[in-house]
Amino acid sequence: MSLSHRREGPDRLYVITSGRSGGADQNLDAVTLIVAESAPTPGMQSEHARILNLCAGPLSVVEIAAHLGLPVTVVRILLTDLIDTGRVTARHPAPASPAYPLASPEVLEKVLVALHNL
């Protein structure tokens, strides 16, 4: 898959994020699942509109980055805009439980069943 921003250099990335290099929601994990809560509206920044179209069903932050051809860092900033305005919701990975810091036996069992069925 081509990484389209490579051809365009850093200036365009700076424009996409309105000059920001920080301010992204630190809770946005690589595999936080993003779901659109509204359709794109006319006049919306094109990257925001593309994210809303991509996330009709749940899609992870890294998948969004790959489909947009933008670095994950930039996508985190764009997603934070959309979360702050209620246009998307985020389903974060469950935090580790104190009893099972690595993973719960139930989760591991689920993964094993799915892998055996592959």
Partner 1 sequence: MHSTTSESPATEQTGSPTSPLPDSVAQALKIAVVGGFGVGKTTMVRSVSEIRPLTTEENMTQAGVGVDDLQGVEAKTTTTVAFDFGRITLDATSVLYLFGAPGQERFWFLWDRLFTGALGAVVLVDTRRLADCFYAIDRLEAQGTPFVVAHNDFGEAEYSLSEVRAALDLDPAVPLTRCDARDRDSAKRVLIELVEHIRSLVLAQAP
Contact 74, 17 (CB under 8 A): yes
| Binding test (CB under 8 A) with partner 1, winner from 16, 17, 24, 33 | 33
Compute the distance between CA of residue 24 and CA of residue 75 in angstroms, rounded to an integer.
9
Does 117 help bind partner 1 (rule: CB under 8 A)? Answer: yes
Compute the distance between CA of residue 66 and CA of residue 2 in angstroms, rounded to an integer.
9
Does 30 help bind partner 1 (rule: CB under 8 A)? Answer: yes
Does 83 help bind partner 1 (rule: CB under 8 A)? Answer: no
Q: How far is the CB of 50 from partner 1 (least distance, A)?
A: 10
Does 15 help bind partner 1 (rule: CB under 8 A)? Answer: no
Contact 69, 76 (CB under 8 A): no
Residue ranges of E strands in 1-118: 33-36, 59-60, 88-91
| Binding test (CB under 8 A) with partner 1, winner from 4, 31, 37, 38 | 31
Q: How far is the CB of 19 from partner 1 (least distance, A)?
A: 15
* 18 vs 35, beta carbon nearer partner 1: 35
Does 42 help bind partner 1 (rule: CB under 8 A)? Answer: no
Residue type (1 letter), 19: G
